[in-house]
Chains A and B, each alone.
Chain A
Amino acid sequence: MSDGELRTFPHWVICEHCDSVYRRIALQAGQAARCPRCLAPLYRASRLDAQRWLALTIAAGIVFLIANLCPLVRISLQGLHNEATLWQSAAALAQGPVALIALPAALSIIVVPFLQIVLLGWVLAFACRRRRAPGFAPALRLLGLLRPWSMVEVCLLGILVAIIKLSGFLEVAPGPGIWAMAVLMVLITLIANRDVHWLWEMVDDVAAGAAA
């Protein structure tokens, strides 16, 4: 029909969980606005500016590398030793009739966290220079889609359960990878578990500031 632009209301916010409309009010850092109708969180004011956020993302990237290269757990039985990394764990499922399940396992503990770090790093590196990254919109949309499938914390609990399970009949020692996973869990929560919508507003402000 018409090619006229749709009118937008950037000062309004709609609750994702119940469709109530509110006027945005400025919050202090760390505060969160909650929807009075359904009590879902509406939006929050981040404590992180783009620089700090990028620094944490780079740190997460380094820790991710360590977590993938170092063994998570070492075991020994009657003089024989073995150890396993993240990749080996996901690959261990890729045998016989269950092979299909190796794919979501590898995605949730390796590929999705990796993509989250790379996409955030890309978007934030440009945001720090007050620019909108090429592919900004698809990157943010992908980040939103990936978020529920990132399972670093579940994996960490899984490693702990595996250690206890095996310690019954063989010698088990935590490897350096497990500490990296613990740090990665904290960093991923800090960088990726926040409102992705908020990045839109941040970059919008940046664009408006540059235009003014």
Chain B
Amino acid sequence: MISPRAAQLKVMACPACGLVVEDGQPEAARCPRCSARLTRRRPNSVARAWALLIAGMIFYIPANLLPVMHTSLLGRASDSTILQGVVEFWLAGSYGIALVIFVASVAVPCSKFLILGLLLVTTQRRSTWAMRERARLYRLVEVVGYWSMLDVLVVAIVAALVKFQSLSDIEPRTGILFFGLVVILTMLAAMQFDPRLIWDSEPT
């Protein structure tokens, strides 16, 4: 037996508190329990998610090309990008840490771009392909997305610690700003996308 969907029973869920409310009212109805505005779907979900996702993808380029950190140690100064940081750990034999940073700063953002792009394209085409798997991919993006903030926080801690003026000093550089914006923009894109749209193309 297939369970009915909200539209078939003329009900909807309050987006804020989850209460099930009858859906027969015109626009701008409010939830009787928490007075949040009731909407059937997140408004303009696909267009907003695309805009945020594309902005995130564009910022990902300077995030990788520009240095994220400036290190000076006993007179020797160097700038390093995220990938150089990964390579440094790898060459130093810290394979675990290299892998952790690689996952947080390359694997997670790139798979977010791919998955969100795939979800947006398939929902726009009203595809019925692999709905359950696509729903699962969406939940995956929601769960792992924020781990990318790791790089920003590492730079913050390291820069706060190493402050020995001429002897040694670490400062944040512009790349980390772009990288942080990528994380925020892709998180917002995932929040804007409405996973219920995946199931709206299901034949009834």
Contact = CB atoms under 8 A, between A and B. Distances in A.
Interface of A: 1, 5-10, 12-14, 16-22, 36-40, 72-73, 75, 77-78, 80, 82-84, 88-93, 95-98, 100-102, 104-105, 108-109, 137, 140-141, 144, 148-149, 151, 154-155, 157-159, 161-162, 164-166, 168-170, 197, 200, 204
Given A9-B21, A158-B153, A36 B195 contact: no
A12 B161 contact: no
Contact of A6 (B29, B100, B147, B177): B29
Interface stretch (B32-40, B44-52, B109-117, B118-126): B32-40
Contacts of B162: 75, 82, 166, 170
Interface string B147-176: 101101111111111111001100111101
Given A82-B161, A200-B18, A158 B176 contact: no
B177 A19 contact: no
Contacts of B97: 161, 164-165
The number of chain B residues touching the other chain, given as a range, is 35 or more
Contacts of A105: 149, 152-153, 156, 180
Contacts of B203: none
Given A88-B160, A93-B155, A158-B150, A19 B33 contact: no
Contacts of B142: 148
- Most B CB atoms within 10 A — which of A73, A100, A200? A200
B160 A91 contact: yes
Residue with the greatest number of chain B CB neighbours at <10 A, chosen from A12, A90, A161, A168:
A161
Contacts of A144: 16
Contacts of B9: 21
Contact of B173 (A13, A20, A98, A166): A98
Nearest 4 CB-CB pairings of A with B:
A158-B153, A92-B160, A14-B13, A84-B160
Contact of B153 (A19, A89, A170): A89
A108 B154 CA distance: 13
A8 B196 contact: no
Contact of A154 (B153, B168, B176): B153
A137 B35 CA distance: 8
Contact of B135 (A18, A75, A158): A18
A143 to B, nearest CB: 10
A18 B198 contact: yes
Contacts of A88: 160
Nearest to A75: B161
Q: Which of A137, A155, A162 has the most CB of B within 10 A?
A: A162
A161 B16 contact: no
A185 to B, nearest CB: 13
B158 A10 contact: no
Contact of A157 (B4, B7, B22, B100): B100
B26 interface: yes
B177 A101 contact: yes
A161 B110 CA distance: 21
B17 to A, nearest CB: 5
